[in-house]
Chains A and B, each alone.
Chain A
Amino acid sequence: MMRMQPHSEFSGTPVSTPAAPIAIELSDASVTFGRGERAVPALSKTTLRIADGEFVALVGPSGCGKSTILRLASGLVQPTTGVVIVGGREVAARALRVGMAFQNPTMLPWMTIERNIMLPLKIVEPFRSQFRKLRKTEYRDKANTLLEQVGLKGFGSRFPWQLSGGMLQRANLCRALIHEPRMLLLDEPFGALDQFTREELWSILQDLWMTHKATVLLVTHDLREAAFLASRICVMSARPGRIVDDSEVSFSRPRTVAMTFEPDFVALNQKLRAFIVDARSAPAEGVAS
């Protein structure tokens, strides 16, 4: 497995993936919102392949189409041109059953944390048809096992308003994982948290990824976060976005916050930063295409 590579270097060019099946594939996919005069190009023709089990971070200036890629991968948005293949088939009409988490934890206030986390089981087969039967036993245990993994043991019976922002975001990760998705799509999940809580959650997310082995696509503004978590980082240009850099990150795992202050890590951060500064200052060329 690539993520176990011991050497702590990064290379600027994409490394060819050894025979791992492709989880997400965008081929010349572009997205334009609206039509005619008011058409807004959100994503230029983009080609991106993500192997099964990879942890990919998407970084770039605001409004560059990072979230659009995420929404393409989830099937919430259809590509205007090109093809999106997720889990071996073309994204047509949903039923991908990916786990998603956003910056806003959106726990339902009238349910306990446990029941909030079980919500996907109420929707996704094969859990759905057994939900009534198993919600008080197997499913509840499942929810509580996840809660334990994120350090929220015993909080299952609390209500969302009894938890802090960081705790809610942990619960949010649990909800995204409860139905054992092959793919986890995260849109700036830690954006609203303070630095320390964020670093804590990086480690938790890393642990979750290492145990659950799902493919993760993480959209973030935080370059340290990207470098800490991802096995590969894609940098995007300003709107309409396209991928301008795609680098492997091969720091050994599990990574620690202390590692983020080592020279290699700082160098990677600076390189990423330079890309984004370039992307921000580049004139908007979207109208041309």
Chain B
Amino acid sequence: MTGRDLRQKAWSAALIVLFFVAWELFCVMSGMSDLVLPRPSEVFVTLYQKFPLLWPHILQTLATTMIGFVLGVGLGVVLGAVIGVSKTAYDTAYPLLVGFSSIPKVAVVPIFVLWFGSGSVPAVLTALSICFFPIVVNIATGLATTEPELEDVLKALGASKFDILWNVGLPRTMPFFFASLKVAVSYAFVGAVLSETVASNRGIGNVMMTASSNFNVPLVFAGLFVLAGLGVALYVIFSLIEGRVTGWATRKNDLIAT
């Protein structure tokens, strides 16, 4: 890591600290009521005190997120592979996919609740439906950009469609795939929390909803902080995996002289 990177990171950290300090000062100086905007220090204290109470809900939210995410990735990979292999399928299916993905998912939650009752199932399904689209698009794009010359070379060798998909198509989609994973996991998380907020009696979303109706505003904000932390953590984890698995796609920058 270069000195420039370190300085950049230090500035980013400083900005975050500054944000909370400014918030704290604003609340103190304006005499803002706890019921409107609690001080961040107060939120952190609440978070610490209520953590044992929050923990099962954190697990619940993470579980629904991850189940929805895994199912969404599975569905996304299959759909992406199917429509990515053929240009016709890609062009035919794309409008429907765009149409589906542009529905605000909050509008779908009541339907899931109608079908499956409130609880974990709608949360999983919302996470799934919100996160599979970036996967589909990225897998399909990766497959569609396979060099035609290479395809000819392999076909002339007698390679089957599956040979080409397995040896060239799928590995080529990996950078696209992992790039889409970190986006998808954030989306899944949003979907799960959304659904919990609307219809569930467990999960961070529900905790915030309940706290809000009890005017326990510091707890609402504590829930928000937890969500921010989890969201960042998931994103970071998948970024790290991406860097590990598909380093070849970004390594072009540091050319070694030969």
Could you tell me which A residues sit within 8 Å of B by CB distance?
71, 74-76, 94-104, 106, 108-110, 119-120, 122-124, 155, 158-159, 161-164, 167, 175-176, 179, 185
* Structural contact, B157 and A97, CB atoms closer than 8 A: yes
Interface size on B, residues (CB 8 A): 25
* Structural contact, A161 and B255, CB atoms closer than 8 A: yes
* Structural contact, B158 and A94, CB atoms closer than 8 A: yes
Write the B216-258 contact mask toward A (1 if CB under 8 angstroms, else 0).
Answer: 0000000000000000000000000000001011011001101
Contact pick for A164, options B168, B251, B258, CB 8 Å? B258
* Structural contact, A108 and B153, CB atoms closer than 8 A: no
8 closest pairs, A vs B, by CB?
A106-B150, A102-B149, A74-B156, A110-B248, A95-B158, A123-B159, A100-B153, A106-B147
Could you tell me which B residues sit within 8 Å of A by CB distance?
147, 149-150, 152-159, 163, 167-168, 171-172, 174, 246, 248-249, 251-252, 255-256, 258
Interface of chain A, main secondary structure: loop
The interface residues of chain A lying within 8 Å CB-to-CB of B154 are: 119-120, 123
The interface residues of chain B lying within 8 Å CB-to-CB of A124 are: 157-158
Contact pick for B251, options A101, A108, A122, A161, CB 8 Å? A161
The interface residues of chain A lying within 8 Å CB-to-CB of B157 are: 97-98, 120, 123-124, 179
Interface of chain B, main secondary structure: helix
Q: Determine the distance from Cα of A95 to Cα of B159 in the docked complex, in whole angstroms.
A: 8
A77 vs chain B, min Cβ distance (A) = 10
* Structural contact, B258 and A162, CB atoms closer than 8 A: yes
The interface residues of chain B lying within 8 Å CB-to-CB of A109 are: 248-249, 252
The interface residues of chain B lying within 8 Å CB-to-CB of A179 are: 157
A-B contacts, 29 of them at CB < 8 A, read A74-B152, A75-B156, A76-B152, A95-B158, A100-B152, A104-B149, A106-B149, A106-B150, A106-B153, A109-B249, A110-B171, A110-B246, A110-B248, A110-B249, A119-B167, A120-B154, A122-B167, A123-B154, A123-B159, A123-B163, A123-B167, A124-B158, A158-B258, A161-B251, A161-B255, A164-B258, A175-B153, A176-B153, A185-B156
Beyond A94-B158, A123-B154, list 19 extra A-B contacts (CB 8 Å).
Answer: A71-B152, A74-B156, A94-B155, A95-B158, A96-B158, A97-B156, A97-B157, A100-B152, A100-B156, A102-B149, A110-B246, A120-B153, A122-B163, A123-B157, A123-B159, A123-B167, A164-B258, A167-B258, A185-B156
* Structural contact, A108 and B156, CB atoms closer than 8 A: no
The interface residues of chain B lying within 8 Å CB-to-CB of A71 are: 152
A160 vs chain B, min Cβ distance (A) = 9
Q: Determine the distance from Cα of A40 to Cα of B149 in the docked complex, in whole angstroms.
A: 21
Please give me the residue from chain A that is nearest to B159 by CB atom: A123
Q: Determine the distance from Cα of A224 to Cα of B172 in the docked complex, in whole angstroms.
A: 37
The interface residues of chain A lying within 8 Å CB-to-CB of B152 are: 71, 74, 76, 100, 102
Q: Given A102-B149, A110-B248, is A76 in contact with B155 using a C-beta cutoff of 8 Å? A: yes
A-B contact count (CB 8 A): 78
The interface residues of chain A lying within 8 Å CB-to-CB of B172 are: 108
The interface residues of chain B lying within 8 Å CB-to-CB of A99 are: 156
Please give me the residue from chain A that is nearest to B153 by CB atom: A100
B255 vs chain A, min Cβ distance (A) = 7
* Structural contact, B149 and A97, CB atoms closer than 8 A: no
* Structural contact, A159 and B159, CB atoms closer than 8 A: no
Q: Determine the distance from Cα of A100 to Cα of B252 in the docked complex, in whole angstroms.
A: 26
* Structural contact, B153 and A101, CB atoms closer than 8 A: yes
Q: Determine the distance from Cα of A103 to Cα of B153 in the docked complex, in whole angstroms.
A: 12
Q: Determine the distance from Cα of A106 to Cα of B157 in the docked complex, in whole angstroms.
A: 15
The interface residues of chain B lying within 8 Å CB-to-CB of A119 are: 154, 167
B217 vs chain A, min Cβ distance (A) = 51
Please give me the residue from chain B that is nearest to A94 by CB atom: B158
The interface residues of chain A lying within 8 Å CB-to-CB of B252 are: 109, 161
Please give me the residue from chain B that is nearest to A161 by CB atom: B252
The interface residues of chain B lying within 8 Å CB-to-CB of A74 are: 152, 156
* Structural contact, B255 and A162, CB atoms closer than 8 A: yes
The interface residues of chain B lying within 8 Å CB-to-CB of A175 are: 153
Q: Determine the distance from Cα of A102 to Cα of B151 in the docked complex, in whole angstroms.
A: 11
The interface residues of chain B lying within 8 Å CB-to-CB of A104 are: 147, 149
A187 vs chain B, min Cβ distance (A) = 8
Please give me the residue from chain A that is nearest to B154 by CB atom: A123
B100 vs chain A, min Cβ distance (A) = 32
* Structural contact, A123 and B158, CB atoms closer than 8 A: yes
Contact pick for B168, options A94, A108, A159, A185, CB 8 Å? A108
B253 vs chain A, min Cβ distance (A) = 9
B145 vs chain A, min Cβ distance (A) = 12
Please give me the residue from chain B that is nearest to A159 by CB atom: B248
Please give me the residue from chain B that is nearest to A96 by CB atom: B156
Q: Determine the distance from Cα of A71 to Cα of B152 in the docked complex, in whole angstroms.
A: 9
A69 vs chain B, min Cβ distance (A) = 14
Residue in B152, B156, B248, B256 with the greatest tally of chain A CB atoms within 10 Å: B156
